[in-house]
Amino acid sequence: MNKERVRTLAGLEEQLGWHFADIALLDNALTHRSFVNENVALACRDNERLEFLGDAVLELMVSDMLIRKFPDHAEGQLSKLRASAVNEQQLAELARRYGIGEHLLLGKGEEGSGGRMKSSLLANAFESVIAAMYLDGGFDRTAVFIGRLFEPLIDDGKLSAVYRDYKTAVQEMSQVLFRDMPRYRVISETGPDHEKRFETSLMIGDRLIATGWGKSKKEAEQQAAKMALEELRKIETILR
């Protein structure tokens, strides 16, 4: 890691409000496998192991917050709330908030295909950064950081409002606007069996309305429906 890279990462540390005792952890968290594959001579490691750890850390800490906030909620309710907090789109938005995409090390192919803007890639990077924080500062310090992001959402009751059955809402609007039913199709399926990533399209008639991403087909469909709902509302406004 050269001096320029260290200087750049220092700017990200300031954005995050976290000074790393071992800056190499942050560098590793931001190294995509496409960069490693194209720079074998550098002997660097990709962030996939950190992504695996960060996913677990996030789920545990958000689960702990939800259990404390909603002592009477059943497991199913808590699972839905957690899914609304740590889904791919939400984590990608957090990554964008901190400018994480600007600091990623990507291969030329991934860079050329707009990798810095991909929600799946940004969400993975955010999870990797969380893992780097956990390894650098421990559980309690990381919990404080995650709490700053998610506790306001939980305390204001916004998390419950975030989760809804977008598919049902899209179906209702589709029938009103087009007298047709939305159709979902898996466009791509990537990643190892234990960590699949699905991309799903939402079609109404022969029109592509939106695409969504997720760690399961169901999550990808909900994300596609969420994006489609925004588009259908625009169409509804025009037709009024």
Domain ranges of the chain: 3-162, 166-239
Give residue 155's pLDDT.
Answer: 66
Residue 46 appears among annotated catalytic residues: no
Residue 55 appears among annotated catalytic residues: yes
What is the residue type of 223? Answer: Q
Percent of the chain predicted with pLDDT > 90: 48
Percent of the chain predicted with pLDDT > 70: 95
| 186, 204 Cβ separation under 8 angstroms | no
User: Among 72-76, 191-195, 213-217, which is the least confidently predicted range?
Assistant: 191-195
CA 118 to chain centre: 10
Position 80 pLDDT exceeds 70:
yes
Closest CA to 36 of 109, 126, 93, 97: 109
Second-level CATH architecture of 166-239: 2-Layer Sandwich (3.30)
Average pLDDT over the chain reads 87
The class that CATH gives domain 3-162 is: mainly alpha
* Catalytic one of 127, 136, 219, 221: 127
User: Among 111-115, 164-168, 218-222, which is the least confidently predicted range?
Assistant: 164-168
* Catalytic one of 51, 55, 136, 221: 55
Give residue 177's pLDDT.
Answer: 86
Residue 90 pLDDT level (bands cut at 50, 70, 90): confident
